[in-house]
Homo-oligomer: A and B are copies of this chain.
C-alpha cells in the first residue's frame, strides 16, 4: 500500500522516519508493507533520502490511483483543506496532525470520508503522541463524558513550570522557551491560548458528537500571569496551568473555556511539567482517566500520524464511524459558567471584597499594598459584577 506525505517539515519528515525505521514491525501489524511513494513540498531537499520521491505538484499525487493514504502535515487551512477534500473525494484516506483544519472543517471532512468509503483520521491533532482521540471515541464508549481538562500546549506548560520552579518573570521565561526552540518567534498562538482552544474544541466536538466552534470558546492565555501570581499559587499549594476545559452540567448544557487555573496537588494534572501534555477525562461510570505524554515533537507526533496510517491501511475501503456531525453544539454562555476564583486586589479594598464576594481565604503578606483572596464557586457573571470596582490586579480561576 502506498502513502503520500504532503509537507516535509518537522512532522512530515518524522512520518517518513517512523514509516521507514519501524517498517518491519508495522508490516507485521498491518499484514503488508506501507511504502512512501511521494513527498510533496515546494522546497528541494538535495541529498535527503526523499529526494527521489519528492514532487512539487499535488496533481501528481492525487491523480495516481496507486496512492491509498495521504498524510496531510502541511498545517494551516489552505491549501490543506482543498487537498484533503480532493483526496477524500477520490477515496484516498487522509491522516493529519493539522488541528486548525480539523477544528474548523473536521465534521465536513468526516462526512466526505464516510460518503467515499475512506477515512479522515487526526489522532496527532490533539496531544501530539498521546493517543487521546482514540481513547475518547473508541475506548471510553460506555460513558457519558462529564468533563475534559487538558494541558494541551507544551510551550505554555514549559513556561508555567519554569516560572514555578525558578521564580522567573514571564518575559524571561518566554525568552528562554524561545532560545530552547520550545516557543516560536511569534508565540501568540501558544501563549494566548489559541492552540489549546482548537484542541479543546476538537475534543469537545468528539465527546458530544456535534460541532463545537472554537470561536465560541472563551479563551485567555498566560500573558497576564506574573511571578507574583506564581508566588501566591505556591503559598496556596497550587500550580498554575493553562487548561482547555469542557464540562457537561446536570441540566445537559456543555461549557468550554481555555484559561489558566490554579490546580491542587491531588489533581493528577498538577505534576505534569515541562513540555508534556496530559488530558483528564471524567466519565459518569469510569470516573477520572488521565493520559500523559509528549504533546509535541517530531517523532511522538509522527508516531500518532503513523498509527492513523496503519488504521487507514487496515480499514481500506471501509469507513471507521466517528460521530461528529456538522450540527452546531450551542455552548452554555460564559456568564453562566461556575468557578472559584483567586484574585489580587489593593489591600484597602479588603472590606469591600469581604462584602461582595464569598471569600474563603485571604493572604495578606505576600506583597505589600495588596491582598490575595480566594472565593468559593460563583458564576462568571456574578464574579464580574462583584469585582467591578475592586481594582483587581490579577485573577486566576481556582480549584477548591
Contacts and interface: CB of A to CB of B under 8 A. Distances in A.
B135 A135 contact: yes
A289 B286 contact: no
Nearest to A136: B131
A123 B293 CA distance: 21
A358 to B, nearest CB: 30
B142 A131 contact: no
Interface string A290-332: 1111100101101110110111001000000101000000000
Determine the main DSSP class of A at the interface with B.
mixed
A210 to B, nearest CB: 12
Contacts of A143: 22, 25, 303
Given A291-B291, A292-B292, A293-B289, A310 B22 contact: no
Interface residues of A, number: 52
Contacts of A304: 142, 286
Interface of A: 17-18, 21-22, 25-26, 28-29, 123, 129-131, 134-135, 138-144, 209, 268, 270-272, 283-294, 297, 299-300, 302-304, 306-307, 309-311, 314, 321, 323
8 contacts: A129-B285, A142-B302, A142-B303, A268-B292, A285-B299, A286-B299, A287-B293, A287-B299
Given A138-B138, A285-B299, A287-B299, 20 more contacts: A17-B285, A21-B284, A22-B144, A26-B141, A123-B139, A129-B286, A129-B289, A134-B139, A142-B303, A142-B307, A143-B303, A268-B271, A285-B303, A286-B293, A286-B299, A286-B303, A287-B297, A288-B293, A289-B291, A292-B292
